[in-house]
Amino acid sequence: MLTTLPTVAPLQLGSLRVGPPVVLAPMAGVTNAAFRRLCAEQGAGLYVCEMITSRGVVERDEKTLNMLVFADVEDVRSVQLYGVDPFYVGEAVKVLAGEYGVAHVDLNFGCPVPKVTRKGGGAALPYKRGLLEAILRAAVGAAEPYGIPVTMKTRKGIDDDHLTYLDAGRIAEDAGCAAIALHGRTAVQHYSGEADWTSIARLKEHVSIPVLGNGDIWEAADAVRMLEATGADGVVVGRGCLGRPWLFRDLAAALTGAPVPSLPTLGEVAAMMRRHAELLADLMGEDRGLRDMRKHMAWYLKGFVAGSEVRASLGMVSSLADLDALLGELDPAQPYPVAELGQPRGRQGSPRKVALPAGWLDETDGVTGDLADAELDISGG
């Protein structure tokens, strides 16, 4: 049986109150307005838009601005911003707050993908302590007149020989950030292996601002264990909710001391799939929305018994009518596959060398570096 904590205190981010203290991590191609609404219908929390670039916002890039779509139930508009230039980051925050009603900005310093790190962005950037501080101060300064909190997300470091998270925490606190989230992996690890929750506990001891833990929260019980083990002020959930938006229902129950609902049957999962597809169709139009839905099918059906023909057809579905017919072939009474509980979901991969700009590790300031190309074509990345 899942253990629960006594009601966990809400997360206080400036004037923004998040209770229970659960945050949906931005995931490229996943956390659009439809998916965020689906998760929000399951439980309270903070649901963050896909990552966008600061230059894309400032230069009015169409792809970037088209991602700034919010569901009508999103009382708190939250955006994760990527940037390497203090000027562009500050100006982007002004646009987001002043023109789009964004009430929370999270800065991404944790992305490990090569197209980002090889230009000095994402998880590579905190190695440049001076540049990190300049960016954070620009963002906090730009957000202050609007009264919105700025947070940052990072990893432990580039690799075990180049850890940056404790310095990043100190810099974030000094710059006026409302909180820092730590994914307990290095950039080298990507999403492989196990997250190091002890690093989250060390960061919590190191700073006085709220710390959010991220990594290997597959079930509500994992969130309970993480909070108990690390003393963190909240959790950030990413891959664990792929094909399982009801995880936010379970998290809300576990962190408020309420009974955790029973696992869904295949019929209930099918109803969730239908709701997801409907929301995507409303957001993008039926053809595009159903195409976008295809990648979610395997996640929803992971571990369930379903015919190979049905699975293949769901992976090519193009209309709500076709989806209804295919879902009707599933056994609604089939119980949830308990063997899948606690198992990793989504991308995992293996450790790999981090792509960095030439000479990146030679010095740790970085303020005078030229990163003009580091924000090109990576919104949603």
Task: Retrieve residue 2's tokens.
Answer: 């899942």
pLDDT at 381: 45
pLDDT band at 119 (very low <50, low <70, confident <90, very high): confident
The highest-confidence range among 198-207, 348-357, 369-378, by mean pLDDT, is 198-207
Are 242 and 299 within 8 A, CB to CB?
yes
Output 377 or 61, whichever has higher pLDDT.
61
Task: Kindly state the percentage of the chain with pLDDT values over 70.
Answer: 95
Whether pLDDT at 374 is above 70: no
Annotated binding-site positions: 26-28, 80, 153, 183, 238-239
* 8 pLDDT higher than 90: no
Give the C-alpha separation, 79 to 26, whole Å.
8
C-alpha–C-alpha distance, residues 126 and 203, integer Å: 15
Does residue 335 have a pLDDT over 60? yes
Is the pLDDT score of 215 beyond 90? yes
Q: Is 203 helix (H, G, I), strand (E, B) or coil?
A: helix
pLDDT for the residue 292: 97
Return the pLDDT at 180: 98
State percent of the chain over pLDDT 90: 88
Chain-centre distance for alpha carbon 281: 23
Q: Regarding predicted confidence, which is higher, 72 or 329?
A: 329
Distance CA 99, CA 96 (A): 6
Per-residue pLDDT, 375: 62
Please name every residue paired with 49 in a beta bridge, in sequence order, or none if there are none.
79
**Residue range 26-40: mean pLDDT, rounded:** 95
Report the DSSP pairing between strands 22-24 and 234-237. Answer: parallel
State the average pLDDT for the chain: 94
Q: What sign for the dihedral angle of Cα 213, 17, 134, 94?
A: positive
How do residues 132-147 score in pLDDT, each as one tens digit? 999 999 999 999 999 9
3-state secondary structure of 37: helix
Tell me: pLDDT of 380 over 70. Answer: no
Decide if 241 is catalytic: no
Q: What is the mean pLDDT of residues 299-313?
A: 96
**DSSP annotation of 247:** H
Q: Predicted confidence band at 7 (pLDDT cuts at 50, 70, 90)?
A: confident
Residue 255 amino acid letter:
L
The pLDDT, as a whole number, for residue 168 is 98
Residue 3 confidence (pLDDT) above 60:
no
Residue range 265-290, pLDDT digits in tens: 999 999 999 999 999 999 999 999 99
Task: Give me the catalytic one of 39, 49, 111, 177.
Answer: 111
| pLDDT level of residue 369 (50, 70, 90 thresholds) | low
pLDDT digits (tens, 9 = 90+) for 219-243: 999 999 999 999 999 999 999 999 9
Position with higher pLDDT, 132 vs 119: 132
Residue 210 near residue 186 (C-beta atoms within 8 A): no
CA torsion 139-239-19-222 (nearest 10°) is -130
Structural domains in the chain plus CATH codes: 17-258 (3.20.20.70), 266-333 (1.10.1200)
Distance CA 99, CA 145 (A): 14
> Is the pLDDT confidence value at 379 over 80?
no
Mean pLDDT of the 293-310 span = 96
Nearest to 52 by CA among 377, 369, 297, 358: 377
Of 8-12, 51-55, 153-157, 346-350, the one with minimum mean pLDDT is: 346-350
- pLDDT, average across residues 163-188: 98
Q: Is the dihedral of CA 195, 215, 50, 340 positive or negative?
A: positive
